Chain A
Amino acid sequence: MKGILLEFYKIRKRKIWVIILVLLGVQCLWGMWAFRDMNAKKLSQGYMQCLYHFSVLNTIMMPMIAAITASKICDLEHKGQTFKLLLTVMPAGALFDAKFICATMYMVAVGAAQTIFIIALGRTAGFTEPFPAGFLLYYFIITISVTVVILAIQQVFSLLFANQMVSFVIGITGSFAGLFSLFLPQNVQKGVLWSYYGVLTPVRMNWDSQTRIADLQYIPVDWSSFCLLMGLFAVIYFTGRRCFTRKER
Chain B
Amino acid sequence: MWKVIRGEQMKLKRSPVWLAFFILPVLPAFMGTFNYLQNIEILRDGWYSLWTQHTLFTCYFFLPATIAVYCSYLFRLEHTNHNWNCVMTLPVSSLHLYLAKLIMASVMVIMTQLWVGILFILSGKMSGLSGPVPPELTEWLVYGAIGGIVICGIQLSLSLIIRSFAVPVGIAMAGGVLGIGALSKGVGAFYPYTLLSLGMRANSTGGSMACSQVQFMAGSLFYLIISAVIAILWLSNTDVTTE
Contact = CB atoms under 8 A, between A and B. Distances in A.
Interface of A: 14, 19, 22-23, 26-27, 29-30, 33, 60-61, 64-65, 67-68, 71-72, 75, 79-80, 163-165, 168-169, 172-173, 175-177, 179-181, 183-185, 209
Nearest to B162: A19
Q: How big is chain B's contact interface, by range?
A: 35 or more
A136 B76 CA distance: 41
B80 interface: yes
A75 B61 contact: no
Contacts of A19: 166-167, 170-171
A79 B80 contact: yes
Contacts of A64: 65, 169-170, 173
Most buried by B among A68, A71, A164, A172: A172
A205 to B, nearest CB: 15
Given A19-B166, A60-B61, A172-B24, 19 more contacts: A23-B173, A30-B177, A68-B166, A72-B166, A72-B167, A75-B165, A75-B166, A163-B15, A164-B165, A165-B70, A165-B72, A168-B65, A169-B20, A169-B66, A173-B23, A175-B62, A176-B27, A184-B34, A185-B38
A168 B17 CA distance: 11
A155 to B, nearest CB: 13
A144 B15 CA distance: 34
30 contacts: A19-B166, A22-B171, A22-B174, A26-B177, A29-B178, A30-B181, A61-B173, A68-B169, A72-B164, A72-B166, A75-B164, A79-B243, A80-B243, A163-B73, A164-B73, A164-B165, A165-B70, A165-B72, A165-B73, A168-B65, A168-B69, A168-B169, A169-B19, A172-B65, A172-B69, A176-B57, A176-B62, A180-B27, A180-B28, A209-B42
A222 to B, nearest CB: 22
Contacts, number: 107
A27 to B, nearest CB: 7
Contacts of B4: none
B20 A165 contact: yes
Interface string B25-59: 00110011011001000100000000000000110
Contacts of B165: 71, 75, 164, 168
Interface in B1-32: 15, 17, 19-20, 23-24, 27-28, 31-32
Instruction: Decide if the interface of chain B is mainly helix, strand, loop or mixed.
Output: helix
A67 B170 CA distance: 9
Contacts of B95: none
A208 B128 CA distance: 28
A64 B177 CA distance: 12
Contacts of A27: 177
B211 interface: no
Given A60-B61, A64-B65, A177 B31 contact: yes
B210 interface: no
B184 to A, nearest CB: 8
B119 interface: no
B25 to A, nearest CB: 10
B142 interface: no
B180 interface: yes
A75 to B, nearest CB: 6
A60 B177 CA distance: 9
Given A60-B61, A60-B177, A64-B173, A71 B66 contact: no
Nearest to A168: B69
Most buried by A among B17, B70, B170, B174: B170
A60 B58 CA distance: 12
Most buried by A among B19, B28, B174: B174
A180 B177 contact: no
A184 B35 contact: yes
Interface string B168-204: 0111011001101100000000000000000000000
Nearest to A65: B170
A19 B24 CA distance: 24
Contacts of B62: 172, 175-176
